[in-house]
Structure 1
């Protein structure tokens, strides 16, 4: 082998380093362009929240939705029922014509999880215990996904939204620095965004201010206030015509009359059919557009409205309309969320954390570099070069995938540096053993790598299994630690094993000519 021979090992390392320099530069230099590592909550400051889910409301929403389906189906099929009403987790109604019972019960049998108590022509419907539990679980999972979707559309970089325990949700919002941003994010998270189209009871509208709650419920009605004026009350049919579960899109637009922001919404095919049928059968009557228990408008139906679209106007500001549209697009929360714990982490604390972490990283790296140089000579220099390449490539990969770096993640980088050097320590010790046994320099290097390989691979695989388990079952910071560790382990296999072997290949003839084992390996052979 001639001096300066470039093998595939060295070529692979050089290409990997070029890749690392190119993709890590935006993160190190903080340039405007290029993919960069996102800093976590503990490094750049932000908002930490622990939310609770009011799961009992999810049961009530489910019951209300089923009641709306029964109301629509019976009217469509001309099945006469009387006194259809719901209260918390119970639906009650009377069937007028007993001959229609078979058709009605066929429809009810297609709805999963119902417990039907029929007494003559009176129906008493509740959810089974299994369906209630399933509804609660779905409400929690749906809340996690809905909040995550809202925050993604809000424009925050790498928000963390994860289920914690049985019925709690952890939310971390890095980059929230002002009270205005914090308030806006909290309102967006907590907004139920429950859209309902509800019929106005024009016969009893005049009694909206005088009728008692018991009387209102007896008529199967509910009273909601106007969004602009709490003094204005609307007497509405409690069972909605349709709700936001049938909504497919919501966009901000501007009214042609006054140029004020409005929200145009679209319904799916089922919602469009129900909307068209209702408006066609109720020309001259009023339909209220209700969002989170407030009436935004209650226009008179002048004609059948097809196409499955409508609009919400309520004196929005542009920002309010934008946030409401985000909430509607991402879906309504089946159950409201409440704040259990809130912590604001200032950017100064994040900057202090970065400084301390970088100092720890620099100190650890410096100590390792000095030790490897003094103890292993030039082979220690090879290990140090591979170490620097490891960090650069690790940062590049994390930046390329838009990963979030947290304090535990930085701890993972420090630990990765130690593990990468550990592989070279094992290799160098195997080479020294072979030199002590009288093997040639070339043979010592070749066999040293072969003998060390099994120990290094086994150690890295077992560690990789552990960090995969941490990622699968951990949350937030634990995942960040697992990500940096797993990437670091895989990169160290490239730099610490393949890369340093490439250096020995390149310098082997020079090593053999000099014969200075102390200079090259830190071990002077007699």
Structure 2
């Protein structure tokens, strides 16, 4: 027996497979492991709806805020600036400024602007409304995914389902507290707004209703700590969370958690201009329609930073910072369906899958040894190495194993042994034809290679397509199949070839083709 480069590579692959798969097999504290999907370890399955019609209102509100800032910055006199679900309108007191207003509004996509003397109104085109709704869903998916990634969950599934629904699957959610925390993080709008307090009428807020407030272009908002306490603020915000660049947890002088936030250059400029012109007045910091604080403006505040204080725990503050960093939802989401998958169901799935995997594996091993004798044993070595390599690669990349993924491993077992069957049959045919052992092995691998490559490459292409266009469990199936195919190419072709090369002289010397290849007579 002599070593060759094939057997050395095969040995290194086996060592790699065993070493990196052990943390997953033994469930050790250290080392990278394969993560179990929702169907294997239990968790939370949710179907969310998106209130896409509110996305248009949100955009119109932002446009109204930008018009106000632009008018103030350029000393343009406007009045009765207001918005509703479908339109924004205002009065331009000096028509000489129409050109400037047209230039400002002209850069906004999908906006229909009607100029009627001093009256200016604008609405979105039907195409822009539809586009906004679609963007709201895409943005909700991306935002929820970012929040859950920062939350620390392993490979959460967040995918569009139908036209206006979002599927969310969270593996590893086991307690009611974890479920509640995840649900709040997902559904929280995290809409930050800085709004001017209407100082002229603030004293009357307790006797004022929403209709009267609307006459002055104001809204009444509750205090976050005490909803009985109300604030009267200007309906159009000074700026919103779209200008936020960072949010993180800090602590005030009393060691209570606060959220420190930072604005982008545009937000910092607006913030600085407003505070400079409104010294002595109050600025309300509003989050999801509640006033967290309304401090007095003592001087111009530059730098574009601020602070949100409230009565919350460190964990709540962290989750709020995550929600702010990941961005506000353009349109609110709501729960349509919720289903908890218990760990016991996951355990049953694992048990059933393991029975299928082990049962199929044992039957394949027995068949190979009975039919191909020593050649079957060599194929079985490659098969076992193949499983270790699959598990090691998945562990190394922290991949998530789902029930379809386990089905993929079972299928990979069949595909891996199929390559060895083709090779063994080619070798047997050549020995029947009177070829020497050396010629039979070399030509057997050469002849089998095309069929094996064709089958594996076409399956690999199908797996890549499944991964690219599939979601959730389909991706898991595609990943395991892909890793299995690549591993089988290494073990079934390179590895077994190396073993035959190492044993070639021994096989020739024994002249017992029945023992080595199952050839009778």
What TM-score do the two structures reach when normalised by structure 2?
0.98
Q: Flag structure 2 segments of 5+ consecutive residues without an equivalent.
A: none
Pairing 1:27-176 to 2, within 5 Å after superposition: 27-176=24-173
Distance 1:207 1:90 in 2: 29
Pick which of 178-187 and 219-228 moved more: 219-228
Corresponding residue SS for 1:35: coil
Corresponding residue SS for 2:226: coil
Pairing 1:405-424 to 2, within 5 Å after superposition: 405-424=401-420
The CA deviation at 1:427 is 0.8
The CA deviation at 1:444 is 1.2
Is 1:197 the counterpart of 2:194 in the alignment? Answer: yes
Distance 2:125 2:430 in 1: 73
Corresponding residue SS for 1:472: helix
Given candidates 430, 438, 449, the residue that maps to 2:434 is 438
Distance 1:156 1:82 in 2: 49
Corresponding residue SS for 1:208: helix
The CA deviation at 1:84 is 0.2
Distance 1:208 1:91 in 2: 26
Distance 1:218 1:87 in 2: 13
Q: Flag structure 1 segments of 5+ consecutive residues without an equivalent.
A: none
Distance 2:161 2:13 in 1: 39
Distance 1:314 1:32 in 2: 38
Distance 1:469 1:397 in 2: 20
What TM-score do the two structures reach when normalised by structure 1?
0.97
Is 1:342 the counterpart of 2:338 in the alignment? Answer: yes
Distance 2:331 2:413 in 1: 46
1:262 paired residue number: 258
Cα offsets for 1:98-148 (capped at 9, x unmatched)? 111011111111222211011111111111222222222221111111111
Distance 1:278 1:301 in 2: 10
Runs of 4+ in 1 over 6 A off after TM superposition: none
1:276 paired residue number: 272
Is 1:375 the counterpart of 2:360 in the alignment? Answer: no
Distance 1:219 1:476 in 2: 50
1:247 paired residue number: 244
The CA deviation at 1:374 is 0.4
1:509 paired residue number: 505
Cα offsets for 1:470-508 (capped at 9, x unmatched)? 111111111100000011011101101111111110011
Corresponding residue SS for 1:177: coil
1:8 paired residue number: 5
1:211 paired residue number: 208
2:459 paired residue number: 463
2:313 paired residue number: 317
Distance 2:454 2:163 in 1: 37
Is 1:477 the counterpart of 2:473 in the alignment? Answer: yes
The alignment yields a C-alpha RMSD, in angstroms, of 1.1
Distance 1:189 1:144 in 2: 10
Distance 2:379 2:476 in 1: 26
Cα offsets for 1:158-211 (capped at 9, x unmatched)? 222122222211111111110011011101111100000000111121332333
1:404 paired residue number: 400
1:389 paired residue number: 385
The CA deviation at 1:36 is 0.6
Corresponding residue SS for 1:312: strand
Distance 2:184 2:265 in 1: 31
Distance 1:299 1:431 in 2: 85
Given candidates 287, 303, 309, the residue that maps to 1:307 is 303
Corresponding residue SS for 1:209: helix
